[in-house]
Amino acid sequence: MKIQITLILILVALLTSCNSKKNDLEESNLKGKIWKVKETRFDGEEKFGKYQIGDKSYYGHQFYVFNEDGNLIESQQLDRKGKIEKASKYSYDEDGNCIEITTYDDDKVVQKQVNKIEKDKNVETQVFDEEGVLTDKYKYNYSGSDISDGKIYNSNGSLTITFTNELSGGLLSKQIVKDSLGKITSIRTYERNNQGDISTQKIEYPKDTTEYTYTFQYDYDEKENWLKQYQFDEDGKIDDILVRNIIYYDESKEPKKDKDFIGMWFVVEDNDWIELRIDKKYDSGYKDRIKETGSWEIDSKQQILTFRADDPDDSRKYKYEFEGYQMILFTIQGEEKLRLEKR
């Protein structure tokens, strides 16, 4: 049911995104001054009583860029190798209202969303295809600053879908979707944990009386933004693990300490790894093989990471930078050599 979960999340995002005065960080339950977020999906595995990251999934990889006001300025849909499949760019008026979203595929416009703003609220959205032809129209009603319900019309002006939202603490708790005849097609109910993230998602389809329940667990950073989302199927078995790399605007100002280096690091898009341990020793290898051992140290003033291998010929120095949980290693001359991610 992986595809089912993804489609549901996309639908919820479509019906609630960029449609209220709250900024996009608040809409996404993200805290702090965030600049970039990358989400990478992996198959989940359970080994020795622990949940572990498996192979990288073929779908479900996203990249987001936010401005200093907490609003999206770009989002990207990535393939398994990190290549951009589609990218959307967001435009705002002087009051910070989202007025237009343009989606590109290989630099070609494939869709444009134009929002009608009244009293700092998006009351209507028109969606156009690559030829500039209207395909859909969304109309919204509000309860306070949140969308309470809406209607979706096709290019002929015929009603196709209606939806009703219930919110708790400004976050979606229930959504009922009906067809053009007013019959309920789906009911989605969300329970949230103390951090405001979805812990249980229940989907009901009244027409065929089927229903599915999925649960989620999380690992968090110090700002209470999740870094790993563990997704479980209706039988309670681990399904996917979604990994986030969050980059904060003020992150580069914070000097790195030994604790920031300790952990298991993987070469991005590869199975090579290096484990930096608290005892200042390291192992490096490929998949389950150890190929090199030694000790490590940092010079935080010059931002240099030194590996002293047991075989002196393998010892080396790198300049380092951090982007969220990714560490980038450069030659002393400044050429990028490795991009590692902590998993």
Per-residue pLDDT of the chain (343 residues; tens, 9 = 90+): 443 443 333 344 444 445 556 788 988 899 999 999 999 999 999 888 888 888 889 989 999 999 999 999 999 999 988 889 999 999 999 998 999 999 999 889 999 999 999 998 999 999 999 999 999 999 999 988 888 999 999 999 999 999 999 988 888 899 999 999 999 999 999 999 999 999 999 999 999 999 999 999 999 998 999 999 999 998 899 999 999 989 898 776 677 889 999 999 999 877 899 999 999 999 999 988 999 999 999 998 899 999 999 999 999 999 998 887 789 999 999 999 999 988 7
Whether 117 contacts 93, CB under 8 Å: yes
The pLDDT, as a whole number, for residue 21 is: 61
Tell me the two tokens of residue 19.
């449609």
Mean per-residue pLDDT of the chain: 89
Q: Could you give the CA distance from residue 115 to residue 87 in angstroms, rounded to a whole number? A: 18
The pLDDT, as a whole number, for residue 216 is: 97
To the nearest 10°, report the CA torsion of 255, 257, 263, 269: 20
CATH of domain 255-342: 2.40.128.270
- DSSP β-bridge partners for residue 146: 143
Q: Residue 171: which residues within 8 A CB-CB, separation 6 or more? A: 29, 190, 192, 196
* From the candidate CATH numbers 3.30.70, 2.20.28, 2.40.160, 1.10.3470, the one assigned to the domain spanning 2-248: 2.40.160
Q: Could you give the CA distance from residue 120 to residue 143 in angstroms, rounded to a whole number? A: 14
Provide CATH 2.40.160 ranges for the chain. Answer: 2-248
- DSSP β-bridge partners for residue 191: 200
Provide CATH 2.40.128.270 ranges for the chain. Answer: 255-342
